[in-house]
């Protein structure tokens, strides 16, 4: 009976030991994915900012500029791209809607972002765009990969439509979460005018006809929870200028927007709570369960060997007793 129990425990030990790496290296990449139908909104603010008044073409100080970023997953488009690529793909339609202190629109920039549901690498497909212009992204945007590493990553900048390194600057504590801090500086670069302008009759084409160009620079900062790869906080020190052309009269340049853009406090709290709950699931799949299964397998193996040894010892005692010899005490 003990020998049968020892064999059962041995089989369970082998099963547990084999299941541990399967859970980490096979199940995790297939289960940890961005949901296709994700929807979220984040509000950012730039207080005491500078904004261009297009009526007078002069920069003025304003108490606050609000940026509402919405993100919506397109399930049908994701499934269509999956059929053509054979990969698990997510399609996000995002919108950055900027409004002044009076609530009126300053600009709106839509994007379509197509990426791998597990690795977050861009997947090139029809419709990939920024403000209606086709793009071919390289690098990350919006989210880091699961199990983010302490290293630099390539990050796509939607304003310049280019990719540049975003640098790992160390590990920090952010409201009880261990996070990786990343920073990217985009130097002054000429960029396209937004397709939607705040004043009727002013279009990118009419501005271009005056010879005036738009320039942009930013310092981009993210605090990323490494297990989920989700930014729990982000901010930018953002500046835009209009330069040259007859639109500015005798001026060489004028500030179109300048401000320190930060996530609003209520959205910071919500994001931290959400990420804290999601990281538990990732931790279970990548650490707790695999190591727990290995420990369970080792324990079952010890119990199996113990029962087998006890069984052999009992058999030995029975044989000695049946031969009439005095049993040897162990």
- Residue 321: the pLDDT is 57
Domain assignment of residue 316, yes or no: yes
Domain assignment of residue 271, yes or no: no
Domain assignment of residue 277, yes or no: no
Judge whether 75 and 89 are in contact, CB under 8 Å: no
Question: Is 327's pLDDT higher than 50?
Answer: no
Residue range(s) defining the domain that contains residue 10? 1-31+291-330
Residue written as token pair 């982000």: 234
Shared domain check, 69 and 129: yes
Domain assignment of residue 274, yes or no: no
Domain assignment of residue 59, yes or no: yes
pTM of the predicted model as reported, rounded to 2 decimal places:
0.87
Shared domain check, 53 and 20: no
CA angle 52, 67, 143 (to 5 degrees): 130
> How would residue 326 be classed by pLDDT, with cut points 50, 70 and 90?
very low
Judge whether 310 and 272 are in contact, CB under 8 Å: no
> Which of 19-23, 40-44, 77-81, 151-155 has the weakest average pLDDT?
19-23
Residue written as token pair 């280019």: 162
Domain assignment of residue 195, yes or no: yes
User: What average pLDDT does the segment 291-306 reach?
Assistant: 82
Q: pLDDT digits over 135-182, tens only? A: 999 999 989 999 999 999 999 999 999 999 999 999 999 999 999 999
Q: pLDDT digits over 105-117, tens only? A: 999 999 999 999 9
> Which of 66-80, 163-177, 266-280, 305-319 has the weakest average pLDDT?
305-319
> How would residue 302 be classed by pLDDT, with cut points 50, 70 and 90?
confident
> How would residue 328 be classed by pLDDT, with cut points 50, 70 and 90?
very low
What is the rounded average pLDDT for all residues in the chain?
89
Judge whether 16 and 290 are in contact, CB under 8 Å: no
Helix H or strand E encompassing 290? helix 289-323
């Amino acid at each position: 009976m003990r020998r049968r129990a020892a064999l059962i425990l041995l089989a369970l030990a082998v099963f547990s030991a084999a299941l541990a790496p399967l859970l980490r290296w096979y199940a995790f990449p297939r289960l940890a994915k961005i949901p296709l139908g994700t929807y979220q909104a984040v509000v950012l603010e730039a207080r005491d900012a500078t904004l261009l008044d297009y009526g007078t073409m002069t920069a003025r100080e304003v108490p606050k500029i609000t940026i509402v970023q919405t993100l919506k997953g397109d399930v049908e488009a994701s499934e269509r791209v999956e059929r053509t690529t054979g990969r698990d793909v997510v399609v996000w339609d995002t919108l950055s809607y900027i409004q002044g202190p009076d609530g009126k629109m300053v600009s709106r920039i839509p994007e379509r972002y197509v990426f791998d549901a597990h690795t977050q690498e861009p997947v090139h497909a029809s419709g990939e765009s920024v403000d209606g212009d086709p793009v071919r992204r390289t690098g990350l945007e919006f989210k880091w990969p699961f199990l983010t590493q302490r290293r630099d990553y390539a990050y796509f900048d939607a304003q310049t439509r280019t990719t540049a390194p975003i640098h790992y600057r160390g590990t920090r504590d952010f409201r009880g979460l261990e996070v990786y801090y990343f920073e990217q500086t985009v130097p002054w670069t000429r960029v396209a005018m937004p397709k939607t302008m705040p004043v009727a009759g002013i279009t990118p084409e009419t501005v271009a006809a005056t010879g005036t160009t738009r320039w942009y620079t930013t310092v981009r900062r993210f605090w990323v929870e490494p297990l989920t790869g989700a930014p729990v906080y982000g901010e930018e020190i953002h500046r835009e200028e209009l330069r040259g052309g007859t639109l500015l009269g005798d001026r060489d340049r004028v500030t179109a927007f300048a401000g320190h853009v930060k996530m609003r406090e209520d959205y910071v709290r919500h994001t931290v709570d959400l990420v804290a709950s999601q990281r538990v699931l990732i931790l279970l799949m990548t650490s707790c369960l695999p190591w727990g299964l290995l420990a369970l397998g080792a324990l079952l193996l010890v119990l199996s060997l113990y029962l087998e040894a006890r069984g052999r010892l009992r058999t030995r005692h029975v044989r000695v007793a049946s031969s009439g010899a005095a049993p040897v005490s162990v």
